[in-house]
Structure 1
Amino acid sequence: MAMSKAKKDLPEEIIFDILYLLPVKSIGRCRCVSKQWNNFLSDPQFIKSHFTLHDHKQEEKLILATWLSQLHTVTFYENEIDDEIDGISRKLNFEHLSDNWVTVAGSCNGLVLVVDRENISIFLINPITLKYHKVPVFDLSLPLLGRNNRRCCNMYGFGYDVVSDDYKVVNLSYYDTNHSEYKADTFVDMYSVRKGVWKRLETPYDHSLTDLASGVLVNGVLHWLACRKTEYSTVIAAFDLTDEKFLELPGPIDLGNNCFMCNLAVIRGCLSISTSISRDKNTITFWMMIEYGVKESWTKFKITEPDLDDSLGTLLCSITDDDLLLDVDEELVVYNMREEQRRDLMIDVTPVMYEVRTFRESLLSPSFGNETEG
């Protein structure tokens, strides 16, 4: 009754301005009010503007694969008793898809790239709307097994090209080899979601000598650790989604060119590189590139804690300005930089640490309106 009266008393322009201010979950309920509201709230332009308005206001959530290969999102909340950050999980159910997820390979604007181990296929999903888009197989992509039964290794990346208004999936693949001195050719394939097509690109780097890891997205650029083809020194290989080319990003001066035992992450929106190789026991050292692309802006930090096993600790992401999320021997651990203390993240699922990603809620489509609903 009150809503009906509001519709009669308020001009449409004011009502629509109010709708822009609603959180993501409320938009779904409001679509049921009328056909007119549903059309307006489902319009791609409204969805895009709504995300732009709310993007920097929303707290980040986690998305991960559990040991049962199920996808779960985790929402953080403040524990009123001891003021610790805990998380409540939600299992994602896609009715027409298998429940055998092995990798969460990327996240951008509320959309997440995931890999289905059972069907060896990749999907773009929206964890909030439960809509998805299956990325088609590229004709030139490497098969799971090649000649002499050599295994194919894959690394993925996902991001948004603001110039072409397009989401792009990047796949780096090569045949595995048992000979460490052998440098495998890396194939770079990129999928345009808007165009629905794949194309093959080139890389000046050897990606087969570093750990398998998904691309880290910062400033519209995907980042991997790679090796120069002429030597064994590692570099930060940066793939620009607009130019569709690889560049080399300068690393921290005091780290040098040896990044074999390092990993990349996003901390407070900045590209970060961490290593557990340290002269100090129980210490993880990491650097943040405060000003993107500026070598001198790399700033050094240390995580030191008596109970921290440095050989098993990996820096994943930041969940607040003070709290960092780590993988310590396949357990999620929160380390508070201000208090210099660690504690286990208390959530109601047991994750398996393939790759954990953060994401923000959005109504954006995984395939520009051609998605399927789970």
Structure 2
Amino acid sequence: MLDSLPPEVLFYIFLKLSSKTLILCSCVSKPWRSLITDPVFVLSHLNQSNTNRGGDRLLLLRRCYGTGSKNGERYSLHFDTEALGIYKELKLPYVNWNENFKLVGSCNGLLCLLGLDIFLWNPSIQRFLAVPWPSDIFTVYGTPYKYALGFGFDSRASDFKLVRLVYIEGESPLYDYELPPKVELYQLSTRSWRQIIDPAPCYEILKSQWTQIFMNEAVHWIAFTRNRRGFRCIILRFHMDSESFSTIALPHSLVNEFPQNLKVAVLGGALSVLQCGWYPFGNRYVSSVWMLRKYDVPESWTKILSVDPSQGLGMALSCRENGEMLMTSRNGELVSYKPENQIVKGLGIRGAHDSFFLDTFVESLALLNEGKRIVKEVLEDDDWDEYHGTSATLN
């Protein structure tokens, strides 16, 4: 009966279905598959999913059990309920792991992960794509370097983008790396890298402890300059649509903070900065949250949370719809915290205290056409090498 419906009616019906159901529908007939894999439909389904975020909000949770083992990586989707009920356990397909393995970011149902390689992963439809490394900086510049990544979506071009800031090791006794950094951009639509010619601002980003968030069409990092007195911190921003940089000033009390104690976040839909770390002078632990009430207006920075060190709490991760704050404890448990009465409730989810990542998640069909389908739930090391040479384990 459905086969007799006009394509425009099927289009509307399919928009209401989940990503997983659509994958099953694409196996029914060639016309259905043609409709579902059409880039126009993929984008329309994403827009529909983002519009319906007001329903059962999903949270993506990453944590790691212990360190030094790729088998300790755990990913799951949860409902934003009292007990953070489980929606789905996710099977990580990637095992080409090293000690600096990290989740770069999550955007529109797509995760960007970094280990020995970079790859994009859509856990909703079990598709992933290995991203080739850009130009060999060692060969081009003949010197060591460090880099930071930023991942997001250009809604104007309807394209996922990955930006890389490359810092070449310098010779000056004052500055460890040359400024400004080299900038390279990867586009999913072309599956290739290109250099951004316009110079980046002369700010530095931490070597391996950098974090990023994507909001308002831009990637944000904590950046800094150095002088003989210490650091001067700021938020560095790369706009995915215009492919240009800008900055946002931090609250005055955070400007001279150690960069490793600051992280950018999105809490309650607002750009936020998390201050968290031990301070040897006075032997005290600080955990606080600053929120930018009006985006791009530095005067609107507001301190919304300052945790008593005696409560044993670590970093804030997310604002819940019930007003509570999801945080880590310093003994490695995910907890829900009520700021108004300082009540802490353990959620029974554990991991290394500095390994937690939490973000809202929307299921999508991203990588349906570009990515490889995961046949094995987990690829062995030999399979990953084989994947780069052939597609024997993937199709």
**Normalised by the shorter chain, which TM-score bucket?**
0.7 to 0.9
CA deviation string 1:72-92 (max 9, x = no partner)? 43222477xxx4324466242
Alignment of 1:299-310 (within 5 A): 299-305=302-308, 307-309=310-312
Assess if the C-alpha contact under 8 Å between 2:148 and 2:205 holds in 1: no
Distance, in Å, in 2 between the alignment partners of 1:257 and 1:243 is: 30
CA contact (8 A) 2:19 2:363 kept: yes
Q: 1:11, 1:164 → 2: CA distance? A: 29
Deviation at 1:158?
A: 0.1
Give the drift of 1:128. 1.0
Alignment of 1:25 with 2:26, yes or no, is no
The TM-score, its normalising length taken from structure 2, stands at 0.76
User: Structure 1's 124 and 12: CA in aligned 2 closer, same or farther, altered over 3 A?
Assistant: closer
- Counterpart of 2:175, as a letter, is Y
- Name the CA distance, whole Å, in 1 between partners of 2:85 and 2:119: 29
Cα deviation for residue 306 of structure 1 reads 6.2
Specify the alignment match of 1:62 in structure 2. 60
Give me the whole-angstrom Cα distance separating, in 1, the residues matched to 2:252 and 2:203: 22
Q: Secondary structure at the match of 2:137?
A: coil
- Indicate conservation of the 8 Å contact 1:184/1:206, yes or no: no
Which residue of 2 is the match for residue 323 of structure 1? 324
Alpha-carbon distance change, 133 to 11 in structure 1, aligned in 2, over 3 angstroms: closer
The total of aligned residue pairs comes to 353
Aligned positions of 1:117-156 closer than 5 A? 120-142=116-138, 152-156=145-149
Residues 275 and 287, structure 2, Cα contact 8 Å, conserved in 1: yes
Are 1:291 and 2:294 counterparts?
Answer: yes
TM-score between the two structures when normalised by the length of structure 1: 0.79
Residue 194 of structure 1 is matched in structure 2 by 189
Structure 1 partner of 2:159: 166
Q: Which residue identity does 2:250 align to in structure 1? A: G
Question: Residues 340 and 268 of structure 1: is their aligned pair in 2 closer, same or farther, counting only changes over 3 Å?
Answer: same
| DSSP-derived class of the 2:311 partner | coil
How do 1:212-231 and structure 2 match up within 5 A? 212-228=209-225
Q: Deviations for 1:103-132, whole angstroms, at most 9, x for unmatched residues?
A: 11011111110013xxx1100111111111
Residue 106 of structure 1 corresponds to: 105
Query: What percent identity do the matched residue pairs reach?
Result: 24
3-state DSSP class of the match of 1:132?
strand
Mapping of residues 31-50 of structure 1, within 5 Å: 31-50=26-45
State the alpha-carbon separation in 2 of the partners of residues 345 and 215 from structure 1: 26
Q: Using a 3 Å threshold, how does the CA distance of structure 1 residues 76 and 15 change in structure 2: closer, same or farther? A: same
Structure 1 unaligned regions, length at least 5: none
Shift of 1:55: 1.2
What whole-Å deviation, never above 9, does each CA across 1:299-329 have from its counterpart, x for those lacking one?
221143565336xx22233353523333333
Unaligned 5+ residue runs, structure 2? 375-395
2:204 equivalent in structure 1 = 207
Query: Which residue of the partner structure matches residue 332 of structure 1?
Result: 334
C-alpha separation between the residues in 2 aligned to 1:339 and 1:56?
A: 34
Counterpart in the other structure of 2:372: 372
RMSD (Å) for aligned C-alpha atoms: 3.6
Counterpart code for 2:267:
I
Richer in helix (by share)? 2
Question: CA contact under 8 A between 2:232 and 2:256: conserved in structure 1?
Answer: yes
Q: CA deviation at 1:11?
A: 5.8
Query: Which residue number in structure 2 is paired with residue 263 of structure 1?
Result: 263
1:188/1:341 Cα in 2 relative to 1: closer, same or farther (>3 Å)?
farther
Q: Distance in 2 between matches of 1:315 and 1:269?
A: 14
Structure 1 residue 344: deviation in Å?
2.9
**More displaced, 43-52 or 197-206?**
197-206
Q: Is the 8 A contact 2:175 2:226 kept in 1?
A: no
